Structure 1
Amino acid sequence: MDLTSICLNKNACNKFGNTRQKHFGSILIARESVIPVAEDGTYDYDLAVIGGGSGGLACAKEAVNLGAKVAVLDFVTPSPQGTKWGLGGTCVNVGCIPKKLMHQAAILGESIHEAVSYGWEVPSLDSIKINWAALTESVQNHIKSVNWVTRVDLRDKKIDYINALGAFKDPHTIVGTLKNGSTKELTAKNIVIAVGGRPHYPDIPGAIEYCISSDDIFSLSNPPGKTLVVGAGYIGLECAGFLNSLGYPATVLVRSVPLRGFDQQMARMVTSEMEEKGVKFHHRCVPLSVEKLENGQLKARWTNTETGEQAEDVFDTVLMATGRYALTSALNLGAAGVKTLSESGKIIAETEQTNVPHVYAVGDVLEGRPELTPVAIHAGRLLARRMFANAAQLMDYENVATTVFTPLEYGCVGLSEEVALQRHGADAVEVYHAFYKPTEFFIPQRNIKNCYLKAVALREGPQRVLGLHFVGPVAGEVIQGFAAAVKCGITMEQLMNTVGIHPTVAEEFTRLNITKRSGKDPNPASCCS
């Protein structure tokens, strides 16, 4: 039997009573016409999900589609600065969605100035500035609409939504603490932990008291002004990038390397472009303290970990982007018997199943998994199908594409050059690379020195592609299509024989023909060369 494309057997169908079949991709599953009762009749729900983010909601909805009775518990503890939000998790409220909207606002601001070179008559360019209050209001209004639609969707699907902080009482019992302090108990045959994570604050004076995080920046009541961003991961660089482009000077403290875990050559391209646009970087620096001055500004002090030199400056806002921690400490996992936790508090579950067979985890709470919304969604859906449709397909965490929405975006899929060399050896890896000239950068003449891409492949024919990396306009849109090709095992021969769409930046992948090993100049002779 093909385990990746499985049909419910007779016993499985009998378990759910009268069913009607429905296709999901290559998996044939069954939909219950009447909500089933748990086999032993002792549980309130077939599935309880702790956490109302992307992964948990996707799992809950898929489970209901398969006839399960489902409850979702979700509660947002306010940030140290008091910020809270509605149903939908990090992505919708304080992550991907507001980040992309602010990134778009920054791009539009740059476009207004460039429009003059294209013949648009824009009066008084010097007076053009962002209205922070109007921007945040628009962003928050969109988020609230998504919160509402999400709640309505749960109601329509007959998923019980409980606005409570869930924790285990025993392996099958969850206690939900409501906003007013009262509690509600429920039992479930299966339980999925999807609580995600929250920003980490460094243990320094003033961090908790005076600093904000990505939990706060998208609804900040006052313009951020001159901002210090502590941390150079993708959240830190994205925030510094759009703030600077919106007209709020940004400085970044880099503890070790920017975009740790990403291809470091591409990371340097990203930070080089940000520096060209005015973002200041202090490398090998960690914060020492943040002090609030009488005028309300913040004096931050930091030290260089290599030289020992200390420095300080005054800012209007200090944003901490020093990583995230999993929200597992409040779950009382010991009562459920879940013991597979990493040092960081994340759950170790190879196939989303913990050491307790009926307790699962999806999303950012998992150790060693990409902290990306689409990953959580797909894993949640596949998990629901395994629980309630006898499916067997597991989540494939390899070759997951992602994009860093910095001023010049960075999109990638597959292995970085460093990891490829480590796994396969220098003699077995070939790297094709090129600089390119986006047509949209011709008028006006924009900096193109950081527009760069590369393909990391096996050297031996037909040269299977191990990773694709792209720094340039709309990198997310570019890399998404190529991600499917990498997933299907595309080779350099196939890539080179693909006819590109001209003039686009995506076609540059089809024009790659110079290897690093050759030592040839990777700069193009013209836009059509």
Structure 2
Amino acid sequence: MAPIDNTEYDYDLVVIGGGSGGLAASKEAASLGKKVCMLDFVTPTPRGISWGVGGTCVNVGCIPKKLMHHASLIGGEIEDAHFFGWQSKNGEPLKDNLKHDWSTLVTYVQNNIKGSNFSYRALLATQQVKYLNAYGTFVEPNKLRIVYKNSKEEFVTSRHFIIATGERPVYPNDCEGAEQYAITSDDLFSLPYSPGRTLVVGASYVALECAGFLRGLGYDVSVMVRSIVLRGFDRQCSEHVRNYMENYEHVKFIDRCVMKKIEEVRESKNGEAPLLRATYRHLESGEEFTDEFNTVMFAIGRKPCTDNIGLDVAGVELDSKGYIPVVNEQTNVPHIYAIGDVLQGKPQLTPVAIEAGVLLARRLYNDHNVNCDYINVPTTVFTPIEYGCCGYTEEEAIDKFGADDIEVYHQYFTPTEWKLNYYDRPRKPMNVCYAKVITTRSKDGDPRKETLLGFHFVGPNAGEVIQFTPFPLKMKATKADLDALIGIHPTCAEIFTMLPISKRSGKEATQQGCCG
């Protein structure tokens, strides 16, 4: 922690950034009796989109993404409803009268977001956190210049600072017309027209999630992949997700290509989508192709918002990509801390930022000594078939322990509700869901000596299934402990309690029955 400083300041703590981490740290510090100010300012996107307090997660991330993902799943369930006896009052299958209205979805999603923005503002006021919708820049190590939208300026000083500015999507610097005509996920959730035929450029979880729910809502969707999908995730599970999207959801994939140019053929008028001409190049052959889309969305990566807030003036060190190296959230400047997506080498997830912010405030102002645990953090990719994971990927386990010293137990399976008349439901195929557990290997085959290393689940409600897997990993439980659990039947999660087949055995890993 920072050394004792007896100087008088305007605030005990100024938090720069009003996302999940900044909100959590601000409220916790205020609840501990400290004078707190939180700054939040959203620079509009090239398309002019900005939003209220709450950061990426609330406004243009987790929340609207999950709502739109759920909207697409509802459509799929309605298509299947007649197999379960549901039909319209005139006796027709519900799917025959099904269509989706984009503007209705956007309206309700944005209303939900605005409700959250209001609630956060009210809560900050209740907890006596000074909220400033203004841009803060360091002019001295303990002093900020505050600039409001009307260009009014003022200066504030503080004993401590927390950098919680998060990230924003990037555009390519070698694609003509990208910023002028394309969008990012920052624009998608408030898009004023139906996306129409859509090209998603990128293969990150953001790219695949957006492509997935747009396809589920009925749009023609293509994904342009430079190299591999879901980099950093388990390769087998990542490719499994891609294959499902391609073969069952009919998302098109354009491999080994990069965008070169976007032109507007027809501008957007009267609530209709524009028509764009995209030119892209194959990385190996060099051949160029053109195609027309209504929407082109870049999801090629994100950049930390650390380059224009005067961190150099304050003396805060950054790495080559703009991320902040920290030790227990403390930067190289003792009174300046950082949390959330701006941290170097830490999981970029909302709950991580919240946990880090709360624990940091308690260490600073309540004599606690608990640090944020960044190991074994669970996450889920909300693609049409969801993928949840925690712990080592198979590749990481092999690199760490060696292929001969790990064991991989796995099983393909079919959710019970997918089995009803499955041969007429091509989007609900048999044995396409998948679970695997990675352990250390016992040379004598004793599961009591096999420590759990990682959980991976591809199937419905993956986030709900994977949520409690950090617990056995943190407790260093064994495969024998997992085998001793009795599952809840019939659920998808119970698959983890009955994984007898290892990859090493070469045995068939498809599900043969469901009740013994």
Tell me which interval the TM-score lies in, with the shorter structure as reference length: over 0.9
Q: In structure 1, how many angstroms separate the alpha carbons of the residues matched to 2:211 and 2:34? A: 44
Selected match of 1:378 from 355, 360, 385: 355
The 3 A distance-change label for structure 1 pair 291 and 407 is same
Q: What's the counterpart of residue 396 of structure 2?
A: 419
Q: What's the counterpart of residue 366 of structure 2?
A: 389
Deviations along 1:470-492, whole A, 9 cap, x unmatched? Answer: 00000000000222222222211
The question of 1:278 aligning with 2:250 is answered yes
Deviations along 1:202-240, whole A, 9 cap, x unmatched? Answer: 011011000010001000000000100000100000000
Selected match of 1:154 from 124, 128, 137: 124
Shift of 1:130: 1.0
Deviations along 1:252-301, whole A, 9 cap, x unmatched? Answer: 01111100000010001101110121100112211111111146311111
Q: In structure 2, how many angstroms separate the alpha carbons of the residues matched to 1:341 and 1:79? A: 24
Shift of 1:184: 2.0
Q: In structure 1, how many angstroms separate the alpha carbons of the residues matched to 2:410 and 2:74? A: 30
Q: In structure 1, how many angstroms separate the alpha carbons of the residues matched to 2:472 and 2:107? A: 39
Selected match of 1:467 from 454, 462, 465: 454
Letter in 2 for 1:510: T
Are 2:410 and 2:503, in contact at CA under 8 Å, matched by a contact in 1? yes
Letter in 2 for 1:521: E
The question of 1:114 aligning with 2:80 is answered yes
Selected match of 1:237 from 188, 204, 208: 208
Letter in 1 for 2:122: V
Per the alignment, in what secondary structure is the counterpart of residue 308 of structure 2?
helix
The question of 1:347 aligning with 2:302 is answered no
Letter in 2 for 1:206: G
Q: In structure 1, how many angstroms separate the alpha carbons of the residues matched to 2:151 and 2:84? A: 60
Are 1:270 and 1:450, in contact at CA under 8 Å, matched by a contact in 2? no
Selected match of 1:477 from 438, 456, 464: 464
Are 1:93 and 1:143, in contact at CA under 8 Å, matched by a contact in 2? yes
Q: In structure 2, how many angstroms separate the alpha carbons of the residues matched to 1:373 and 1:211? A: 26
Q: What's the counterpart of residue 104 of structure 2?
A: 134
Shift of 1:318: 0.2
Shift of 1:80: 0.6
TM-score, reference length from structure 1? 0.91
The question of 1:442 aligning with 2:419 is answered yes
Q: In structure 1, how many angstroms separate the alpha carbons of the residues matched to 2:418 and 2:503? A: 26
Q: What's the counterpart of residue 315 of structure 2?
A: 337
Deviations along 1:42-76, whole A, 9 cap, x unmatched? Answer: 10111000000001111111111211110000001
Q: What's the counterpart of residue 172 of structure 2?
A: 202
Q: In structure 2, how many angstroms separate the alpha carbons of the residues matched to 1:382 and 1:448? A: 45
Q: CA RMSD in A?
A: 1.2
Letter in 1 for 2:364: M
The 3 A distance-change label for structure 1 pair 426 and 202 is same
Are 1:253 and 1:286, in contact at CA under 8 Å, matched by a contact in 2? yes
Shift of 1:377: 0.3
Shift of 1:337: 1.1
Selected match of 1:80 from 46, 54, 59: 46
Q: In structure 2, how many angstroms separate the alpha carbons of the residues matched to 1:350 and 1:436? A: 43
Q: In structure 2, how many angstroms separate the alpha carbons of the residues matched to 1:484 and 1:67? A: 33
Per the alignment, in what secondary structure is the counterpart of residue 174 of structure 1?
strand
Are 1:114 and 1:444, in contact at CA under 8 Å, matched by a contact in 2? no
Q: In structure 2, how many angstroms separate the alpha carbons of the residues matched to 1:426 and 1:389? A: 46
The question of 1:302 aligning with 2:274 is answered no
Q: In structure 2, how many angstroms separate the alpha carbons of the residues matched to 1:487 and 1:309? A: 50
Q: 292-301 vs 135-144, which deviates more?
A: 292-301
Letter in 2 for 1:342: D
Deviations along 1:173-204, whole A, 9 cap, x unmatched? Answer: 11111010111211100000000010010011
Q: In structure 2, how many angstroms separate the alpha carbons of the residues matched to 1:254 and 1:444? A: 35
Q: How many residues align?
A: 491
Q: What's the counterpart of residue 454 of structure 1?
A: 436
Q: In structure 1, how many angstroms separate the alpha carbons of the residues matched to 2:328 and 2:117? A: 30
Q: What's the counterpart of residue 161 of structure 2?
A: 191
Q: In structure 2, how many angstroms separate the alpha carbons of the residues matched to 1:126 and 1:120? A: 12
- The 5-angstrom pairing of residues 351-362 of structure 1 reads 351-362=328-339
Q: In structure 2, how many angstroms separate the alpha carbons of the residues matched to 1:316 and 1:401? A: 36
Q: What's the counterpart of residue 499 of structure 2?
A: 512
Q: In structure 2, how many angstroms separate the alpha carbons of the residues matched to 1:359 and 1:173? A: 11
Letter in 1 for 2:107: E
Shift of 1:39: 6.4
Q: 54-63 vs 400-409, which deviates more?
A: 54-63
Are 1:272 and 1:450, in contact at CA under 8 Å, matched by a contact in 2? no
Q: What's the counterpart of residue 186 of structure 2?
A: 215
The question of 1:525 aligning with 2:506 is answered no
The question of 1:254 aligning with 2:202 is answered no
Q: 125-134 vs 78-87, which deviates more?
A: 125-134
Per the alignment, in what secondary structure is the counterpart of residue 185 of structure 2?
coil
Letter in 2 for 1:277: E
Are 1:191 and 1:360, in contact at CA under 8 Å, matched by a contact in 2? yes
Are 1:270 and 1:406, in contact at CA under 8 Å, matched by a contact in 2? yes
Q: What's the counterpart of residue 69 of structure 1?
A: 35
Letter in 2 for 1:281: F
Per the alignment, in what secondary structure is the counterpart of residue 186 of structure 1?
strand
Are 2:414 and 2:432, in contact at CA under 8 Å, matched by a contact in 1? no
Q: In structure 1, how many angstroms separate the alpha carbons of the residues matched to 2:114 and 2:350? A: 19
Q: In structure 2, how many angstroms separate the alpha carbons of the residues matched to 1:488 and 1:61? A: 31
Q: What's the counterpart of residue 325 of structure 1?
A: 303
Q: What's the counterpart of residue 10 of structure 1?
A: none
Q: In structure 1, how many angstroms separate the alpha carbons of the residues matched to 2:285 and 2:467? A: 42
Shift of 1:343: 1.3
Letter in 2 for 1:218: F
Per the alignment, in what secondary structure is the counterpart of residue 391 of structure 1?
coil
Selected match of 1:288 from 257, 260, 273: 260
TM-score, reference length from structure 2? 0.93
Q: In structure 1, how many angstroms separate the alpha carbons of the residues matched to 2:30 and 2:218? A: 47
Are 1:226 and 1:316, in contact at CA under 8 Å, matched by a contact in 2? yes
Q: In structure 1, how many angstroms separate the alpha carbons of the residues matched to 2:266 and 2:467? A: 49
Are 2:183 and 2:296, in contact at CA under 8 Å, matched by a contact in 1? yes
Give the unaligned 5+ runs of structure 2. Answer: 268-273, 423-427, 443-447
Per the alignment, in what secondary structure is the counterpart of residue 525 of structure 1?
coil
Q: What's the counterpart of residue 345 of structure 2?
A: 368
Q: What is the percentage of aligned positions where both structures have the same residue?
A: 50
The question of 1:228 aligning with 2:206 is answered no
Per the alignment, in what secondary structure is the counterpart of residue 121 of structure 2?
helix
Are 1:478 and 1:506, in contact at CA under 8 Å, matched by a contact in 2? yes
